[in-house]
Structure 1
């Protein structure tokens, strides 16, 4: 609530400016770090090279995060539910897809010395890494939170507390990256189910997003203290914007599908599905 006090206004403006500056520096640092990893990987393995599309995908994801986390979108998201929904889609669906498609783990493995790379492989192939990276768990984390956010007082509470708002952003980004990786990530993912099963999980995500958006538009069980027209327009943004993001994710998944010729139910190549196992 606005109290009209000049010192409060200046403090709020100063805090917002500081937050934007820190956010910009973190994103810039991540971009520089990615560039250094690419250069190191190319020096260590010049024959393998590195895809230009993957090199461009990571900064594209950072640019989408910058669009969501910096003014004017970030400023408007505090007072306009439609801007919040745009921010939600950018942080939770579009930026994660771009970041995941850059294959950051594979890049890290190529840039590290063999001993360090083996340590990373041990971590990402361990039991505790496999659990959140499974499509079922990633689906629950990314879509299950929608009900908690929009059908409980959680959304209004997060708007009142800046730290709660940033925790919400962190959850959107982490769960979005997990789901994109579990469904269509190019990085190795031990124990990941086949393409058909992942299409089912993606279809479930599409259904949940559609149901939440429709319930929001109709005002069913929604616990949001914002104007009705903003809720309805935000629901439309979620419905159609989510569809586009999920179509892009489906396209990324289909590109990984490499049907194998089989004889008596056994792959002739004897090789696991791409990205299904890590080298030992």
Structure 2
């Protein structure tokens, strides 16, 4: 069974994909290469005054950039318009795994360590501002992330973005930004001026995981406009099981941080505190 609008195989994103030229893809590739190089340079600057930047953070940044780049300018970007399953793989990379890897590369910490003091103070004030506090609240971040996906896949927005390059860019930017903000609001691996309790974050994370899982099942049973039923089923299963695998990392990391903060202090440390 196919939904009301047929998904145009090979030209499903006629308006948007036709606007992407080889030059656009070349420029996009240069942008991602520049971001990778910029991170390396910033790390070298940081190493002059601080402890050596860990190798795993370099790897996380490069891997994160690849996860973000593949659905935007890589082979997945070309295949996704004609195949919803490939599109959903791009969603997992762009909105979940990419943001998680980039979060573990702690870009905000590196930015504050590698820029002039005056600029770093401005960035710090921005992170502490009221708007930043609102957006970074775990509940708001979860709403932007999971709620945005519900809007995308249960309304006509999914079809509309395939016929407008601007809307296509806006939707993909939102998917990445919302995924990144949600990730850093759940696990504090980078600069986090506004911190919330483990209990609150755990509850919100469980609700968000449930919302993501329910949406994947909804897609399985009710394909988005223009998506064939078989592709919707495969895409829904990929979203469900692939999302679970990435969300399991979030759960593990949150629980590990919670355990470390709650475990009893060594007896020697307690005796020293009493002296």
Q: TM-score, normalised by structure 1?
A: 0.84
Partner of 2:32: 27
How far is the alpha carbon of 1:91 from its aligned partner?
0.4
Answer yes or no: is the 8 Å Cα contact 2:221–2:233 preserved in 1: yes
From 145, 152, 157, the counterpart of 2:155: 152
SS in 1 for 2:235: helix
Which residue of structure 2 lines up, in the alignment, with residue 112 of structure 1? 115
Deviations 1:39-84 (A, max 9, x none): 0000122xx2222212221111001122222342111111111111
Which segments of 5 or more consecutive residues in structure 2 lack a partner in the other structure? 1-6, 9-13, 271-275
In 1: Cα distance, 2:19 partner to 2:149 partner: 31
Does the 8 A contact of 1:123 with 1:129 survive in 2?
A: yes
The answer on 1:211 being equivalent to 2:222 is no
Q: Which one of the candidate residues 182, 195, 205 is aligned to 1:179?
A: 182
8 Å CA contact 1:91, 1:172 repeated in 2: yes
**1:202 Cα offset (Å):** 1.3
Q: 1:210 to 1:15 in 2, by over 3 A?
A: closer
What CA distance in whole angstroms lies between the structure 1 residues aligned with 2:21 and 2:202? 41
Q: Which has the higher contact order (CA 8 A, sep 6+)?
A: 2
More helix by share: 2
SS of 1:31's equivalent in the other structure is: helix
Residue 261 of structure 1: how far off its partner (Å): 6.5
- Corresponding residue for residue 39 of structure 1: 44
Contact 2:150 2:215 in 1 (8 A): yes
- For structure 1, list consecutive stretches of 5 or more residues without a partner in the other structure: 3-8, 269-280
Between stretches 106-115 and 240-249, larger displacement belongs to 106-115
Does residue 182 of structure 2 align to residue 167 of structure 1? no
Cα offsets for 1:73-105 (capped at 9, x unmatched): 111111111111111111000100001111111
* Contact persistence 1:37–1:107 (CA under 8 A): yes
Q: What is the aligned partner in structure 1 of residue 237 from structure 2?
A: 236
1:275 match: none
Separation in structure 1 between the aligned mates of residue 177 and residue 131 of structure 2, nearest angstrom: 16
Displacement of 1:161 after TM fit? 1.3
